[in-house]
């Protein structure tokens, strides 16, 4: 993609803002983020209207206009807070991390699954603070990596990749050869995939999402079938005090004896339903500005893997 001069200046502005935020105590930085998020809801008309439109599409007449507007504003606030926490996390030690992130028996669940030696695929969404989900495991000594999208401007891309690397999370790109990802799973690592967006350039199928057909990537199911690695829907949910609660849903195990297309659909439906379940519980923590139902179901619609 052609470089545009303004991107360089925006990058410098972003680096300056990052440097400023890292000088602040977390509580003050989050208060600043809340103000920026709320102001953005008021000023960014296009993104606000997309968010509210998608909320109305998902909930129909279940929620009032006032409730939709409240959730919409909180979506922007949560995104800003998650962004600030992402900026801050390279400076957190393991002790700091454990004060912010809480869990129940999630590590024991992961240990039991990794005991099979097939690795683990953790599927999440742009929900809560998804970057903290992967890093929580690497901070506690679990080798892990994520599949991400390469950012159009390389300095931005390196900023994101290096921030993840500060906590030991390696990034693979979805357009890369799958060999590195397969090698990570065969090495019994945790692979993180954020797979809740409509990306029509990759293989996917239509499965229900908020009672509407949504084009959904089949990559997690394909990897699970290829390696035997179970899929675990995982979430890092912001709490009222701005700490996080890590939650892992029930694991999804592949059945290599089932017909491949049927198994891909079953697995994809299950992890997608888990993501929807938690969004319904915490709607303000998902990025509703994304066009999740952009790709339309063909007239002769089916739910088979697209080639």
194 burial class (0-12, 13-18, 19+ CB within 10 angstroms)?
buried
165 burial class (0-12, 13-18, 19+ CB within 10 angstroms)?
middle
Instruction: Locate 214 and state its tokens.
Output: 């949504």
pLDDT in tens, 65-81: 999 999 999 999 999 99
Cα(117)–Cα(122) distance, integer angstroms: 15
DSSP state of 89: G
- pLDDT for 305 equals 46
Section 215-237 average pLDDT = 97
Strand 120-124 and strand 190-194: pairing? parallel
Q: Of 161, 158, 155, 149, whose CA–CA distance to 7 is shortest?
A: 155
Buried-exposed string 196-235: b where 16+ CB fall within 10 A, e elsewhere: bbbbeeeebbbbebbeebbbbbbbbbbbbbebbbbbbbbb
Instruction: Delimit the domains of the chain by residue range.
Output: 5-285
Section 22-32 average pLDDT = 96
Q: Could you tell me the pLDDT band of residue 14, with boundaries at 50, 70 and 90?
A: confident
Q: Could you tell me the pLDDT band of residue 298, with boundaries at 50, 70 and 90?
A: confident
pLDDT in tens, 142-198: 999 999 888 878 888 888 899 899 998 999 988 877 888 999 999 999 999 999 999
Q: Could you tell me the pLDDT band of residue 93, with boundaries at 50, 70 and 90?
A: confident
Cα(269)–Cα(255) distance, integer angstroms: 15
| pLDDT at position 6 over 80 | no
Instruction: Locate 17 and state its tokens.
Output: 């803002």
Higher pLDDT, 200 or 285: 285
Q: Could you tell me the pLDDT band of residue 307, with boundaries at 50, 70 and 90?
A: very low
Q: Does pTM surpass 0.85?
A: yes
């Amino acid at each position: 993609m052609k470089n545009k001069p303004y991107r360089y200046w925006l990058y410098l502005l972003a680096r300056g803002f990052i440097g400023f935020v890292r000088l602040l105590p977390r509580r003050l930085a989050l208060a600043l983020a809340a103000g920026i998020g709320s102001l953005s809801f008021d000023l960014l008309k296009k993104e606000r209207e997309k968010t509210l439109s998608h909320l109305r599409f998902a909930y129909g007449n279940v929620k009032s206009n006032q409730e939709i507007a409240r959730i919409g504003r909180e979506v922007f606030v949560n995104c800003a807070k998650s962004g600030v926490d992402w900026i801050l996390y390279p400076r957190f030690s393991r002790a700091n991390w454990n004060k912010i992130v809480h869990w129940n028996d999630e590590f024991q669940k992961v240990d039991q699954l990794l005991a099979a030696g097939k690795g683990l695929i953790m599927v999440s969404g742009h929900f809560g603070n998804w970057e903290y989900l992967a890093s929580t495991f690497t901070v506690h000594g679990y080798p892990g990596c994520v599949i991400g999208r390469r950012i159009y401007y390389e300095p931005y891309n390196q900023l994101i990749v290096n921030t993840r690397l500060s906590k030991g999370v390696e990034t693979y790109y979805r357009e890369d050869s799958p060999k590195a990802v397969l090698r990570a799973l065969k090495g019994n690592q945790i692979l993180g995939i954020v797979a809740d967006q409509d990306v029509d350039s990759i293989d996917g199928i239509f499965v229900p999402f908020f009672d509407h057909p949504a084009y959904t990537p089949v990559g997690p199911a394909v990897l699970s079938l290829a390696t035997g690695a179970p899929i675990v829907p995982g979430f890092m949910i912001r709490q009222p005090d701005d700490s996080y609660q890590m939650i892992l849903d029930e694991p999804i195990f592949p059945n290599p004896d089932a017909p491949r297309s049927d198994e891909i659909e079953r697995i994809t439906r299950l992890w997608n339903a888990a993501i929807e379940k938690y969004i319904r519980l915490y709607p303000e923590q998902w990025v509703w500005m994304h066009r999740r139902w952009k790709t339309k179901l063909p007239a002769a619609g089916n739910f088979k893997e697209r080639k």
